[in-house]
């Protein structure tokens, strides 16, 4: 296991009925002028917007709104947010939504203090060390883990780039995780979010660092929780415990708990971000399509033991021959996504082979998968994996 520092200061307020009694006290610690950030309107349909506005009015907050944050949030929206913060002397950002709303808020928060265009903040990539406005989140979709980490992913459609940035100041100060706010998440987004959570766990699980039983066994448990609860939430969207388990696994899957102590980069995310950058598809769907194909591609005598462990401990596959067990585990992964009604080919989400070469080139250029992945992937490997998804 590698050395690591695990410092996640986000204050998690988990459970139902907390907003009414806790939200305004939380906000008052940072100031009165609030930028309220949200997406395309789901919070207006399910009543959360009215509830939040009502609380802010009673608390005499000054509220400026940035609405319409896109899934795969765009740099133009970040720029609008930075301008609003400056024009209105905003003290803090309240992000109400899924990963896209929270990510957009994080880069607005960092961009506020930067003299450069926010895209330059993104291009600075992972190690953002500057200041940021305080962020409070109300999560409405279990998926990215953005509610409890310092990362953000922003899209620049003009350049077909979807890039990640991250830093300690971008970590939310407080995140409200009320499972009832996810009752209205449609089945497609519930499945996509669950696939994203699973992918975050899988990406760190299949890693070159040895001796990480704690991280791996925690990951296996979290994966089983997602595999158990996603189908329940699909059939019964207002099952509180199913939604609660998905929500908490979302946060724990990407707050460092299962990733710290390991080195190396993720593979499927690097490949998926190019699909989203070029075709604007749903992140978790792209990951579900890629993951079993990537697993098959990197399965070999060198990697088989970890895949056999995955098959046994995550899927309960009882098979002694390791290669056979590994293949059954990969098939189970594919079958799970399929059973969640995820379209399991790239053409099914409107992607043909035309840009495979270009996307493969970008996936390698925007990451270090060629040298630092579980199994290093060159452009030709990425293109071959895309082809397996046809």
Which residues of the chain form contacts with Zn ion (CB under 5 A)?
196
CA 339 from centre of chain: 22
> In terms of CB distance, is 245 or 291 closer to Zn ion?
291
Contacted by 286, from Zn ion, ligand NZQ, none: CB < 5 to 8 Å by type: none
> In terms of CB distance, is 268 or 377 closer to ligand NZQ?
268
Tell me which DSSP letter residue 89 carries.
Answer: T
Of all residues in the shown chain, the one whose CB is closest to Zn ion is 196
Tokens for 54?
């009502």
> In terms of CB distance, is 193 or 312 closer to ligand NZQ?
193
Contacted by 153, from Zn ion, ligand NZQ, none: CB < 5 to 8 Å by type: ligand NZQ
> In terms of CB distance, is 61 or 144 closer to ligand NZQ?
144
Maximal C-alpha separation, the chain: 66
Cα distances (Å, whole numbers) of residue 84 to 37, 92, 166: 11, 12, 22
> In terms of CB distance, is 90 or 171 closer to Zn ion?
171
Contacted by 72, from ligand NZQ, Zn ion, none: CB < 5 to 8 Å by type: ligand NZQ
Smallest separation, CB 200 to ligand NZQ (Å): 6
Helix axes 283-298, 379-388, angle to 10 degrees: 110
Smallest separation, CB 280 to Zn ion (Å): 16
Q: Are β-strands 151-156 and 161-166 bridged in parallel, bridged antiparallel, or unpaired? A: antiparallel
Of all residues in the shown chain, the one whose CB is closest to ligand NZQ is 39
Contacted by 198, from Zn ion, ligand NZQ, none: CB < 5 to 8 Å by type: none
Smallest separation, CB 134 to Zn ion (Å): 25
Where do the H-state alpha helices sit in the chain? 19-28, 42-45, 48-58, 75-87, 99-111, 118-123, 187-205, 213-235, 240-253, 268-279, 283-298, 304-315, 322-339, 356-365, 369-372, 379-388
Q: Is 74 exposed, middle or buried (0-12, 13-18, 19+ CB in 10 A)?
A: buried
Contacted by 40, from Zn ion, ligand NZQ, none: CB < 5 to 8 Å by type: ligand NZQ
Smallest separation, CB 343 to ligand NZQ (Å): 16
Residue located via tokens 């980490």 = 149
> In terms of CB distance, is 150 or 327 closer to ligand NZQ?
150
Smallest separation, CB 135 to ligand NZQ (Å): 12
Positive or negative, the Cα torsion across 19, 81, 83, 45? Answer: negative
Q: Are 326 and 309 in contact (CB under 8 A)?
A: no
Contacted by 71, from Zn ion, ligand NZQ, none: CB < 5 to 8 Å by type: ligand NZQ
Smallest separation, CB 272 to Zn ion (Å): 7
Smallest separation, CB 186 to ligand NZQ (Å): 6
Which residues are near ligand NZQ by CB under 6 A? 39-43, 46, 71-72, 97-101, 103, 140-141, 143-146, 149, 151-153, 181-182, 184-185, 189, 193, 196, 254, 269, 283-284
> In terms of CB distance, is 77 or 312 closer to ligand NZQ?
77
C-alpha span between 322 and 308 (Å, rounded): 5
Smallest separation, CB 58 to ligand NZQ (Å): 23
> In terms of CB distance, is 196 or 274 closer to ligand NZQ?
196
Q: Are 376 and 370 in contact (CB under 8 A)?
A: yes
């Amino acid at each position: 296991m590698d050395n690591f520092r695990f410092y996640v200061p986000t204050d998690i307020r988990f459970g139902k009925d907390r907003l009414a009694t806790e939200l305004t006290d939380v906000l008052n610690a940072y100031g009165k002028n609030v930028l309220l950030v949200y997406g395309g309107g789901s919070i207006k349909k399910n009543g959360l917007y009215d509830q939040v506005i009502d609380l802010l009015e009673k608390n005499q907050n000054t509220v400026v709104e940035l609405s319409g944050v896109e899934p795969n949030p765009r740099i133009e929206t970040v720029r609008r947010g930075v301008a609003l913060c400056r024009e209105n002397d905003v003290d803090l950002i309240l992000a109400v939504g899924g990963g896209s709303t929270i990510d957009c808020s994080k880069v607005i928060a960092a961009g506020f203090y930067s003299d450069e265009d926010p895209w330059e903040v993104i291009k600075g990539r992972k190690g953002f060390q500057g200041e940021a406005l305080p962020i409070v989140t109300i999560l409405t979709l279990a998926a990215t883990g953005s509610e409890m980490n310092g990362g953000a992913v922003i899209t620049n459609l003009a350049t077909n780039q979807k890039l990640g940035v991250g830093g300690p100041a971008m970590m939310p100060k407080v995140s409200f995780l009320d499972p009832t706010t996810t009752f209205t998440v449609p089945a497609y987004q519930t499945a996509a979010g669950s696939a994203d959570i699973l992918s975050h766990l899988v990406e760190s699980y299949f890693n070159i660092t040895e001796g990480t039983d704690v991280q791996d066994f925690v990951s296996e448990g979290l994966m089983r929780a997602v595999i158990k609860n996603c189908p329940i939430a699909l059939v019964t969207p207002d099952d509180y415990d199913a939604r609660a388990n998905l929500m908490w696994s979302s946060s724990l899957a990407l707050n460092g708990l299962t990733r710290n102590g390991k080195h190396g980069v993720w593979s499927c995310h690097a490949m998926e971000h190019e699909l989203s950058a070029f075709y604007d598809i749903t992140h978790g769907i792209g990951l579900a399509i890629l993951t079993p194909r990537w697993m098959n591609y990197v399965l070999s005598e060198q990697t088989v033991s970890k895949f056999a462990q995955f098959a046994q401990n995550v899927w309960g596959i009882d098979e002694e021959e390791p290669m056979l067990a590994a293949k059954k585990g990969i098939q189970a992964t594919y079958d799970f996504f399929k059973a969640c009604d995820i379209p399991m080919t790239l053409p099914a989400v409107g992607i043909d082979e035309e840009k495979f070469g270009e996307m493969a080139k970008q996936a390698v250029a925007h990451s270090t998968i060629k040298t630092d992945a579980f199994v290093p992937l060159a452009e030709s490997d990425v293109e071959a994996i895309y082809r397996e998804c046809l």
